[in-house]
A and B are shown apart, each in its own frame.
Chain A
Amino acid sequence: MDTEVLRSYLPLFREALILTVRIGWFGIALAFAIGIITSALLHFKVPVLSAVAKVYIELFRNTPLLVQLFFIYYGLPVLGFQVSAEWCGIAGLGLLGGSYMAETIRSGLDAVPLSQTESALALGMNKRQLFGSIVLPQAFSTSVPALVANVIFLLKETSMFSAISLMDLMFTAKDLIGLYYDTTEALFLLVIFYVIMLLPVSIAGSFIEKKARFRIFG
């Protein structure tokens, strides 16, 4: 392996990492927001909207991100919306992730005993207070491992962004290989940068899991 080549590629990969993390961050934040709202609709069995939530989940869970990205990237301009590739990436990640998060959070919500809901209601809480302060925090503590797995999965899915010409890690590696044929160096850096991006998430995840579980279960 040529260290000179590695060194010359580093700034490009650093750029790509920043872009990937930026889109990943916003996309995953969107996924959490969608997931929480969707799971709440399902948990409270809100008429009509819970059916919409189910259709949404099944639609996005059962289609590949690549297909969703194409739809957003090439479909929206047809409908008259001009959206940057970066926003398409965020939307795609958010919608795919939202469907996974919704199911994960819902299973956590369903695991909270009904008696918790009743004792909160007996104290005069309304549904919003009950959900935000009692049920959701407990659901999160039980589903931390699954949520962290989702986050890691979604960050890896960013490798699809190259398809809509976003210069993420995957795009950068493929581009460099195409230009200079330094395959080994490019792939080596690709692996290293994915690990640099994901290892902290994994470690933080275990830490949060321990903390969240300890509070409730000791």
Chain B
Amino acid sequence: MSTEKEILKVEHIYKKFEDLSVLEDISLTVHEGEIIVIVGPSGCGKSTFLRCLNGLEETSEGHIFLDGEAVNPLSKNITAIRQKIGMVFQSYDLFPHKTILENVIMAPVLVQKRKKDEVKAEALKLLERVGLSSKINNFPRQLSGGQKQRVAIVRALIMHPEVLLFDEVTAALDPEMVREVLDVMLDLAKQKRTMLIVTHEMAFARAVADRVIFLDGGHIVEDSDPKQFFDSPRTERARKFLSTFEFEEK
């Protein structure tokens, strides 16, 4: 469960792409240690919302604060803020010209100016924890999707972020590889990491979430605890959305 410390505060943000309104008046407060799962139909603005949080997208209106500091992609301190918000993408996006170990230690050494030996030791420990010790000298193209995604998670973790964002990290994976990635995330959940997770894995969402946010048409339609959301959603839209994951037996 979460502590009372507010870590991320989103105040009335809007995001428009030309005429298309993707996010409308979203407000949210995230407490330290809280695990928030964001669900909703395709194109509802889930990914855009996550990308606004670390300044990959500029909001059209409203404010985002991390530890009281404004997140603004155009401001000078955006690189410092991004170091505190780790993000893992659907398509892994490892650096193809670097080995697995280099992928992991690159940002801490280059960006955070930490000592290479210390970072390397931590990288080896983290990679061992996700079962990839034997791959450190391989290149990303030699790994399976699930392995790549585990590396991507380690690459975000080693920056010691205060918040982790997961943007549909299992959506591009073959079914048998989904589990190995979700297991890593469950492990992080046990460590009380603050996480915002966009996913279509409903069983996982239910198991891991402290709070479920249902986003539809750019609005937060529901914001409730997982039991309430999955067992008795308050809105018709949520009920309809959840029913798309069910199959009737013949």
Interface residues, chain A, with chain B CB atoms under 8 Å away? 113, 115-116, 118-126, 129, 133-134, 137-138, 141, 215-218
Contacts and interface: CB of A to CB of B under 8 A. Distances in A.
B97 A137 contact: yes
A116 B79 contact: no
B96 interface: yes
Contacts, number: 70
Interface string B65-103: 000000000000001101101110101011111000000
B111 A122 contact: no
Contact of B96 (A118, A122, A126, A216): A216
B107 A118 contact: no
The binding surface of chain A is classed by DSSP as: helix
B56 interface: yes
A184 to B, nearest CB: 50
B125 interface: no
Contact of A115 (B79, B93, B141): B93
Contacts of A215: 96-97, 139
Nearest to B80: A124
Contact of B95 (A122, A124, A134): A134
A124 B93 CA distance: 15
11 contacts: A113-B93, A116-B95, A119-B87, A121-B56, A123-B82, A123-B106, A125-B107, A126-B111, A215-B97, A215-B139, A216-B141
A126 B77 CA distance: 10
Nearest to B141: A218
The winner among A123, A133, A217 for most chain B CB atoms within 10 A is: A123
Contacts of B95: 116, 119-120, 134, 138
Nearest to B51: A118
Given A123-B107, A125-B111, 11 more contacts: A113-B93, A119-B87, A119-B89, A119-B94, A120-B95, A123-B83, A138-B97, A215-B97, A216-B141, A217-B96, A218-B142
Given A115-B89, A133-B106, A122 B97 contact: no
Given A115-B89, A129-B111, A124 B82 contact: yes
B170 interface: no
Interface string B20-55: 000000000000000000000000000000000010
Contacts of B156: 122-123
